[in-house]
Amino acid sequence: MDQYFLLMLSNLLHFHNYLDPTTSPLLSSSSSDAASTSAAPLLFFTLSSVLSYLASHPPSKKKPKTSSSSAAAAKPPSEFSVAAFRALSTERIWAMEAPLRDAQWRSLYGLSYPVFTTVVEKLKPYITQSQLSLPSDYAVAMVLSRLAHGLSLKTLASRYALEPYLISKITNMVTRLLATKLYPEFIKIPVARRRLVETTQGFQEITPLPNVCGAIDTTPVKLHKLSPDAINGSMYYCKYGFPSLLLQVVADHKKIFWDVCVKAPGGHEDADHFRDSLLYNKLISSDIVWDKAVSVKGQPVRPYIVGDWSFPLLSFLMTPFSYDRTGSPAQNAFDEALMKGRKAVEEAIGLLKGRWKIMQDLNVGLNHAPQTIVACCVLHNLCQVAREPEPELWKEPEESGQTPGVLENEKQCYYYGGNLRQLLADDLYQRLSSR
């Protein structure tokens, strides 16, 4: 029985004894007064019955008020709920002015609403097959917000009121689809003549070197953390001192990637990574032959890519004579023109890391890191093709290094590349001198 009820019952008993003429000394001297108190037992019985009823039927307890922070954690914020997303994307978005609409969508998901719908439509059939419990567009939006802002699993789970394991599952699924299903459509080597001509002519607007069809570079993608039991963990530490994966890309004059490779830890040399890539093997074995040749001093020059001194000099890859401009006037002029062409890939990498901030600190598991990187490259190309506004460039650290050695199977390509480089340097210097 409730202790407060017992206390009241005890007090009532004392009160009864006070009123009862047989026990109260104050009332025993007057028989007339004793008669007036004959109702005391009835009063006691009535009050005790009422109190007994109240004790057996306690009022319902109100739930204690929770703090605002715990309430927010227990319930999803309205602006990130499925209902709020659906209302915005299907009811209000097309009623907005296009600049306001796209600016709002970019701030949330890294790209404009029309580009977002393109991504959703291309991925929706595959997401539907997975029988995900969330709408396809909502799942894609969630992953894009993580890629665009570099959000952690914990932050995203709190924001969308979902379990972290589900956020991880959705992220892995969407990035895998981007890296596999959309890669062939948006990342293509320019082998078709029309695109090859467009690319080489585009490079002529940024460098005086003829017939350039691409610029190659690598960048370390920082890993948020490296598992202590990672095999050969020291190999993941790049020359800048942090654990990373090495990303190799080739870009055209529009800063669109036409080849992407993520195959090595960050501690690998650029030349070794390149030689292990599918692109290198196709070029060295002549599986890819660009037929659009131009005449330079009476010699046919096929299209080639340009890279810095960390790549090997080959017939299809031109590199500088030196990294500190210590060559002849013709060689220095060539190096300066080559570096102008390389700016396309440097800026492309800067845009990639500036637009998709997860690339600045990759907070996914090591097993899923390569597909996440490739997915961001696919999204980068989508944005470039759609002419999305370019964000502030991520600045890469300055590099310096030495030219790698020549492998036995590369000697023929190396000697031909050396002759071609000197031919291009002499032709360029002659053209510049005649102005």
Strand-pair category, 257-265 with 244-251: antiparallel
State how far Cα 413 lies from the chain centre. 39
pLDDT at 381: 98
Give alpha helix (H) positions in 80-163. Answer: 82-87, 98-109, 113-129, 136-149, 153-160
pLDDT of residue 9: 52
Distance CA 236, CA 242 (A): 8
CB 312 within 8 A of CB 183: no
212: helix, coil or strand?
A: strand
Helix axes 3-19, 40-56, angle to 10 degrees: 180
Exposure class string for 205-223: b at 16+ Cβ within 10 A, else e: ebbbbbbbbbbbbbbbbbb
Q: Report the SS3 class of residue 192.
A: coil
CA-based nearest residue to 350, from 340, 338, 359, 341: 359
Among residues 170, 180, 239, 251, the alpha carbon closest in space to that of 396 is found at: 239
For residue 345, the number of C-alpha atoms closer than 13 Å in the C-beta half-sphere is 26
Closest C-alpha to 290, from 370, 176, 194? 194
Residue whose tokens read 């490296």 = 226
Pairwise CA distance, residues 376 & 110, whole Å: 11
**Residue 309, C-beta contacts closer than 8 angstroms, at least 6 positions apart:** 319, 320, 322, 323, 401, 402, 403
* Distance of alpha carbon 206 from alpha carbon 223, whole angstroms: 34
Q: Compute the half-sphere exposure of residue 225: CA atoms within 13 Å on the CB side of its CA.
A: 4
Q: For every one of its 435 residues, what pLDDT tens digit does the chain have, with 9 covering 90 and above?
A: 455 444 455 555 554 554 454 444 433 443 444 444 445 555 555 555 555 555 555 554 444 444 444 433 444 445 677 877 877 776 677 778 888 888 889 999 999 999 999 999 999 999 999 888 889 999 999 999 999 999 999 999 988 888 999 999 999 999 999 999 999 999 999 999 999 999 999 999 999 999 999 999 999 999 998 877 677 788 999 989 999 999 999 999 999 999 999 989 999 999 999 999 999 999 999 888 888 899 999 999 999 999 999 999 999 999 999 888 888 999 999 999 999 999 999 999 999 999 999 999 999 999 999 999 999 999 999 999 999 999 889 887 777 666 898 999 999 999 999 999 999 999 999 999 987
Residue 123 in 3-state DSSP?
helix
Residue 299 neighbours by CB under 8 Å, 6+ apart: 423
Residue 219's pLDDT is 96
Question: In angstroms, rounded to a whole number, what is the distance separating the alpha carbons of residues 231 and 34?
Answer: 99
pLDDT (0 to 100) of residue 131: 84
Q: Structure tokens of 433?
A: 């001198």
E strand residue ranges, 266-399:
294-296, 299-301, 304-306, 317-318
pLDDT of residue 40: 54
Q: What residue spans define the domains of the chain?
A: 3-52, 79-181, 193-433
